[in-house]
Amino acid sequence: MNEINSNEAALELRQAYFKLKEESPMLRVRNAAAQLGVSEGQLVASRVGEGVTRLKDEPQEILEQIEGLGEVMALTRNEDCVHERNGVYSNHSFSKHGPMAMGLFVNPDIDLRLFMNHWKFCFAVQEESHGHMRKSIQFFDPTGTAIHKIYVTGKSDEAAYDKLVADFTADEQPLFIEVEAAKPPLATVDDDAVDWSEFRAAWEGMKDTHDFYPMLRKFKVDRQQAFRHIGDDFAFPVSNETSRKILELARDRKCEIMVFVGNKGCIQIHTGPVENLMERDGWFNVLDPIFNLHLKEGSIANTWITKKPTVDGIVTAVEVFDADGEIIATFFGKRKPGIPELKLWREIVAEIPAEGVKA
């Protein structure tokens, strides 16, 4: 990644970006940043004063004020999937568990799990899109990677947006941010160093899906390593066309589902139906009035159906991974604590045949 640590270097970056945009007007900022060898956050920072305002590095305090904007669009993505959901940022809570700072927004429309240790840089962005001005609040992690974005819609209170921006505008407005290198992933152990019978007992003893990640940490294994060893009654590989098939079946059977998409700092959840499906330019899309999903199918390396015990019975998921073993998206049937998962969802998943997995 290129070093951008002065206003002069940032101005050069800004001009290079404007030149790229002249050549490719539809180029998205994330892709432009990749072409220019910088993080998206560095590129956004270089445009401070040109539709971009640096906000104080106070993401929690900003998030606590978003409800006042009314209905907005929440956007969370990773490299291969974009999740967009319209709603109001109500019912929030923040907490600390040892060194971990967590946040929640829990309501039928905006449903987020926030890992606040990864939230660092905050910006207000105004940019023209399809002939009209889009206003947003954008959050980035210490590496300059986008964590979460909140867009004003036609149903938002723009005066409240303008006031929020004014209230949180940083005293200094440099054209650069000082980014950090990405931390290496948590170390895992080789297969032969794991007591898989003990691991199997721990899996069988789960009471909640939230027990799963701590279990992986305890045994120092990654998700797919666990899936390969647990036994096909709890996890088995399926075709990488399964995401599309699941969405089509959910649409055709009118099955309400849950779609989880996230990155290191945020997981965003849609709960409800999916209706308007479309493939375009290698992306498979849900294009509904309050929920959009854009899934880059060519980046899917492995797909698994998994079954996890809970106090409410088995919870069945379709888990989708890229070539680096990172989760792209996860699909569940609609459910809440205290309520077993939908029978219709289980019937849909049962139609997906097992298949070999790539090494």
Q: Which candidate, 144, 169, 164, 170, places its Cα nearest to that of 152?
A: 164
Q: Which candidate, 313, 342, 127, places its Cα nearest to that of 253?
A: 342
pLDDT value of position 1 = 67
pLDDT at 359 over 70: no
How far is residue 76's CA from residue 292's CA, in Å, rounded to a whole number? Answer: 11
How far is residue 59's CA from residue 204's CA, in Å, rounded to a whole number? Answer: 38
Of the candidate ranges 25-29, 145-149, 184-188, the one whose mean pLDDT is the lowest: 184-188
Q: How confident is the model at residue 206 (pLDDT cuts 50, 70, 90)?
A: very high
- CATH 1.10.1530.10 is the classification of domain 7-90+121-168: no
pLDDT value of position 356 = 61
How far is residue 68's CA from residue 169's CA, in Å, rounded to a whole number? Answer: 17
pLDDT value of position 357 = 52
CATH class of domain segment(s) 191-274+298-350: alpha beta
pLDDT digits (tens, 9 = 90+) for 208-259: 999 999 999 999 999 999 999 999 999 999 999 999 999 999 999 999 999 9
Count Cβ atoms below 10 Å from residue 116 Cβ, excluding itself: 19
- Does residue 259 contact residue 269 with C-beta atoms inside 8 Å? yes
pLDDT value of position 128 = 82
Helical (H) or strand (E) element with 135: strand 132-140
Q: Which candidate, 60, 64, 89, places its Cα nearest to that of 74?
A: 89
More confident residue, 183 or 57: 57
pLDDT at 187 over 90: no
pTM: 0.95
Alpha helices in the chain (DSSP H): 7-23, 29-36, 40-46, 59-63, 158-168, 196-204, 212-219, 223-230, 242-253, 343-350
- Does residue 259 contact residue 331 with C-beta atoms inside 8 Å? yes
pLDDT digits (tens, 9 = 90+) for 104-156: 999 999 999 999 999 999 999 999 877 788 999 999 999 999 999 999 999 99
pLDDT digits (tens, 9 = 90+) for 58-104: 999 999 999 999 999 999 999 999 999 999 999 999 999 899 999 99
Q: Which candidate, 160, 162, 219, places its Cα nearest to that of 188?
A: 219
Domain ranges in the chain are: 7-90+121-168, 191-274+298-350
pLDDT digits (tens, 9 = 90+) for 262-289: 999 999 999 999 999 999 999 999 999 9
Helical (H) or strand (E) element with 261: strand 257-262
pLDDT value of position 282 = 93
- Does residue 20 contact residue 27 with C-beta atoms inside 8 Å? yes
Do 191-274+298-350 and 7-90+121-168 have the same topology in CATH? yes
Give first-to-last CA distance, the chain, whole Å: 30
The alpha carbon torsion through 196, 202, 204, 209 (nearest 10 deg) reads: -120
pLDDT at 196 over 60: yes
How far is residue 124's CA from residue 173's CA, in Å, rounded to a whole number? Answer: 12
Q: What percent of the chain has pLDDT over 70?
A: 99
How far is residue 37's CA from residue 165's CA, in Å, rounded to a whole number? Answer: 29
How far is residue 21's CA from residue 169's CA, in Å, rounded to a whole number? Answer: 27
pLDDT digits (tens, 9 = 90+) for 317-352: 999 999 999 999 999 999 988 899 999 999 999 999
- Does residue 209 contact residue 315 with C-beta atoms inside 8 Å? yes
How far is residue 11's CA from residue 16's CA, in Å, rounded to a whole number? Answer: 9
Helix (H, G, I), strand (E, B) or coil at 206: coil
